[in-house]
Amino acid sequence: MNNTKVCDTDPPLSSAPLNGRFDAVVIGAGLAGCTAARLFALQDLRVALVEHHSDMAAFKQLCTHFIQASATPTLRRLGLDRLIEDAGGLRNGVDIWTRYGWTGDVAPLDENGEPAFGYNVQRRTLDPILRQLTMNTPGVTTLFGCGVRGLVKENGVVTGVDLGGNRTGIVSAPLIVGADGRSSPLATLAGIKPAASENCRFGAIRAYRGVALRRGTCSQMWLRGPETGYVFPNDGDVTVIAYMATKDKLDGFRANPGEALERSMAGFPDSPDLASAEPLNNALLVKDYPNLWRQPAVGNIAFVGDALMSIDPLWGVGCGFAFQTAEWLVNTLTPALRQGRPIAPALRSYAKRVHRELNGHRFLIVDFARRRGLNAIERLNFSAAAKDVAAARHLHAFGARLIGPARFLSPGALLRAAWVDLRRPAARSAQPDAPV
């Protein structure tokens, strides 16, 4: 018996209805949603891409604009890497300072032994490029200015979404993809609540033009006790400056976040000179950013990107994991969708891959979000990386998410780090009295 029903949250609109059947409906046209939609369509699947913004140029503002090297293969598959470079995006590396000194901008190696890199690119540049690329992909139907006002259920299973906004009506598919951000209205409608944990830090972020950098054009990061600072050079001579610290320092930022940001950054060694730089906007003050994550799949709803996991931005993994989780979903679900088979086994496989690939990273990031500084193992690795190129390369491979925690913290790697730490002299850039 077919007991199809529509679960409305708002009264139905009277405009001409839109009704369509697709292989997948993707909610959210950000990085993860566009990636999923384009890659599904490149596999000859029909995709509806739903986005509540009407403006094609809309972009996410709270972002480090740093794409991890782990996502570069996905960018190449999308054909996005060339477009990023054509738009002025920079191949990125990172140099990290702790009291043990600078690690150096040492490129990690990919699986072929070649230097690996990600990209620094402004989201105001990246988001419209990817959105246009996806819209131009045959098989993608874009529905902009549309919000999900209800879920369509058949025998208790979500089979479609009821749309309001610029277009109204129902779009249906065996797979519904939640790519609609950390608050995920889709998850709320489906009654799927995230797990959450505390983040003890606040953050301030601001973009500048004409920043005088003192350590080249690579990204730079400072870890000093409860404080973290960042420099992210981007396209268009725009540099994003960010600062994070534990919330006991928040009161000093409330009155004038921009001034407090510049004052705090000036206290780091080799920090950029912001005196003659041009601020491009007001400083954005993020007072609280708890860690959130959801199950990868519930019923026939799958989550990717921030809707799947939105955790402490201190480590800059959001963009990279958005691209990667969307690709994992496409790889796992495509055979079942193309052959018209039940998708439940494929969704279980997707969930297993997400847990295998991300749970270790999430554990370490969530753990650090509760702490005021480095633990003993982190001190060992940063100390060794400041003294030894191989140790620095190993650290950067983990920071770029090219390797997981098991390999990063393997007994052999820790023994070698301990040997380096004991046998090598301190780096010239070390400050032994600085907080750790």
Query: Rounded CA gap, 279 and 302, in Å?
Result: 40
In a domain, 436, yes or no: no
Tally: H helices and E strands in the chain: 13, 25
Whether residue 277 is found in the same domain as residue 212:
yes
- Provide the pLDDT for residue 363: 98
Same domain as 162, residue 305? yes
For 114, phi then psi, to 5°, come to -95, 150
Same domain membership, residue 397 and residue 263 = no
CB-side neighbour CA atoms (13 Å) of 406: 5
Q: Give residue 191's domain range.
A: 5-58+127-195+291-361
Q: Give domain status of residue 106, yes or no.
A: no
Element (H, E) at 329: helix 318-339
Domain boundary among 286, 308, 337: 286
301 shares a domain with 228: no
**Number of domains comprising the chain:** 3
Instruction: Give the CA dihedral 311, 81, 60, 398, nearest 10 degrees.
Output: 20
Where a domain ends, among 236, 262, 286? 286
Residue with tokens 């730490």: 421
Residue 105 domain-assigned (yes or no): no
CATH of the domain at 252: 3.30.9.100
Task: Write the DSSP assignment of 91-140 as a string of letters.
Answer: EE-EEEEETTEE------B-TTSPBP-EEE--HHHHHHHHHHHHHTSTTE
- Asked if residue 297 and residue 345 are part of one domain, the reply reads yes
Residues 228 and 269 placed together within one structural domain of the fold: yes
250 and 264 both lie in a single domain: yes
Structure token digits, residue 285 = 């003050």
* Structure-block tokens of residue 7: 């679960």
Q: Give the pLDDT confidence score for residue 285 in this predicted structure.
A: 97
**Which of 264, 286, 308 delimits the end of a domain?**
286
Same domain, 33 and 14: yes
Residues 304 and 331 in one domain: yes
Mean pLDDT by 10 residues, the chain (436 residues): 35 50 97 98 97 89 90 98 98 97 95 94 96 97 95 92 93 97 97 97 97 92 97 96 97 97 96 93 96 97 98 96 98 98 97 98 97 96 98 97 97 98 95 95
Calpha distance 187→193 (Å, rounded) = 7
Are 205 and 271 contained in the same domain?
yes
Q: Is the domain of 39 the same as that of 152?
A: yes
